[in-house]
Amino acid sequence: MDNTSAGSDIAALADERRAFNAAISAHGMSPLWEVLHALVPPSPATPCVPAHWRYADVLPFLKQSGQLITAEQAVRRVLILENPALRGQSCITQSLYAGLQVIMPGEVAPSHRHTQSALRFVVEGNGAYTAVAGERTLMNPGDFIITPSWTWHDHGHYGKAEVDSQVVWLDGLDIPMLRFFDAGFAENGSAQQQEVTKPEGINLNRYGANMLPMRHDPPFGKTSPIFSYPYDRTREALYALERHGDIDAWDGVKLRYTNPSTGGSPMPTMGTFMQRLPPGFAGKPWRQTDGAVFSVVEGSGSVSIERAGQKWTFNFGPRDHFVIPSWHTARLQSQPGCVLFSFSDRPVHEALGIHKEERLS
């Protein structure tokens, strides 16, 4: 067989395959062999890219949004942190949503509930509160607060416009995850604010003192019965461990928030963490399948991120935010020392038995 006839046979086969693909397409089918390597790649692959939001760049827009629309009109006045590779999809990774919410003195963000789980991490300001299922808690910088799935919640600011400033917090939700399952929806409350029926801190007293009630049903299902984790307690633990404990070569001093009823994650879909990088910290590289969103609580440092020959370096300061997508190699460094809050979809990975992590040297 000469080269000409061989070439004709290859072309004929290609034409036959195209015709076959067209024929099965009309019946709602497609050939796996043409997409197999994309569906099951040799290593985790994500379209997401690392990104960094400097608070100095973001804050003017947060303030301007406070003049353009009220919290009541907006329901939630939030600037979404969109991954640059996923613009228009309202997500920071393919499974997580993040945004910066601002509430002005005297405002109320009206009551509603939704199937999505939400976290609030207070970035700046004092005088705001959040109410969950009849209990209010003040919001202070560094506090981690949960809105459990399908619980009534509203937010407000006790301050006065002429003397107080806005309060800003990071919203983290599993919106894209529930969208994948077609399970996300919400209900608006009949009143602007829910009735407060419990004293502040009652659930912290009941579940957060290293004890549990003798007989109880979890008030928020699989979500932690504590919905407010104050920063002053977390900070004290981090600094004590820095002074007296071992410093991890990859994470510094890193702790995970827990559900006191189970020892697991505070929320079934999102894990939350706080870590202290001591002065002079130069971390070793690591990568993990769960993409993570970071909020800088105090101090400054840098993160170096690599994947497939691409490199990013972000120099971060207080109240900055950045995202490290799945399976990107990252290294954290801090000369003066810093504290970082982060959240990820790790609990889902672990529940499904698909979580992978590599700590490189």
Between the alpha carbon of residue 122 and those of residues 74, 101, 119, 137, 207, the distances in Å are 20, 9, 10, 12, 22
| Res. 7: pLDDT tops 80 | no
Does residue 133 belong to any structural domain of this protein?
A: yes
| Res. 1: pLDDT tops 70 | no
Q: How confident is the model at residue 57, as a pLDDT?
A: 98
Whether residue 333 is found in the same domain as residue 202: yes
Q: How confident is the model at residue 231, as a pLDDT?
A: 98
Q: What is the pTM of this model?
A: 0.94
* Average pLDDT for the chain: 95
Whether residue 55 is found in the same domain as residue 33: no
Does residue 323 belong to any structural domain of this protein?
A: yes
Does residue 334 belong to any structural domain of this protein?
A: yes
| Res. 256: pLDDT tops 60 | yes
| Res. 4: pLDDT tops 70 | no
Whether residue 16 is found in the same domain as residue 113: no
Does residue 14 belong to any structural domain of this protein?
A: yes
Whether residue 63 is found in the same domain as residue 202: yes
| Res. 24: pLDDT tops 80 | yes
Mean pLDDT of 233-254: 97
Q: Which residues pair with 128 in a beta bridge?
A: 139, 157
Whether residue 288 is found in the same domain as residue 338: yes
Q: Which residues pair with 292 in a beta bridge?
A: 324, 344
DSSP letter at 248 equals B
Quick one: what percent of the chain has pLDDT higher than 70? 98
Q: How confident is the model at residue 8, as a pLDDT?
A: 83
Mean pLDDT of 78-82: 98
| Res. 114: pLDDT tops 70 | yes
Q: Which residues pair with 316 in a beta bridge?
A: 301
| Res. 179: pLDDT tops 80 | yes
Q: How confident is the model at residue 161, as a pLDDT?
A: 79
Whether residue 226 is found in the same domain as residue 330: yes
CATH code for the domain in which residue 140 is found: 2.60.120.10
Whether residue 126 is found in the same domain as residue 58: yes
Alpha carbon distance 200, 155 (integer Å) = 14
Whether residue 168 is found in the same domain as residue 27: no
Q: How confident is the model at residue 215, as a pLDDT?
A: 87
Contact 170, 120 (CB under 8 A): yes
Whether residue 161 is found in the same domain as residue 31: no
Mean pLDDT of 315-332: 98
Whether residue 152 is found in the same domain as residue 283: yes
| Res. 2: pLDDT tops 70 | no
- Provide the number of structural domains found in the chain: 2
| Cβ-proximal residues to 45 (8 Å cutoff; 6+ apart), any chain | 327
Q: How confident is the model at residue 164, as a pLDDT?
A: 80
Please state which of the ranges 75-89, 127-141, 156-170, 278-292 shows the lowest mean pLDDT: 156-170
Q: How confident is the model at residue 9, as a pLDDT?
A: 87
Alpha carbon distance 241, 279 (integer Å) = 14
Does residue 315 belong to any structural domain of this protein?
A: yes
Alpha helices in the chain (DSSP H): 3-25, 36-39, 55-68, 71-74, 175-180, 202-207, 231-244, 346-352
Q: How confident is the model at residue 245, as a pLDDT?
A: 87
| Res. 3: pLDDT tops 80 | no
Instruction: Name residue, tokens 């104050």.
Output: 230
Does residue 252 belong to any structural domain of this protein?
A: yes
Confidence of residue 192 (pLDDT cuts 50, 70, 90): confident
Q: Can you give the residue range of the structural domain that contains 35? A: 3-39
C-alpha 47 chain-centroid distance: 17
Whether residue 255 is found in the same domain as residue 308: yes
Q: How confident is the model at residue 191, as a pLDDT?
A: 86
Alpha carbon distance 291, 313 (integer Å) = 17
Mean pLDDT of 97-104: 97
Does residue 137 belong to any structural domain of this protein?
A: yes
Does residue 45 belong to any structural domain of this protein?
A: no
Mean pLDDT of 17-23: 97
| Cβ-proximal residues to 248 (8 Å cutoff; 6+ apart), any chain | 254
Whether residue 69 is found in the same domain as residue 200: yes
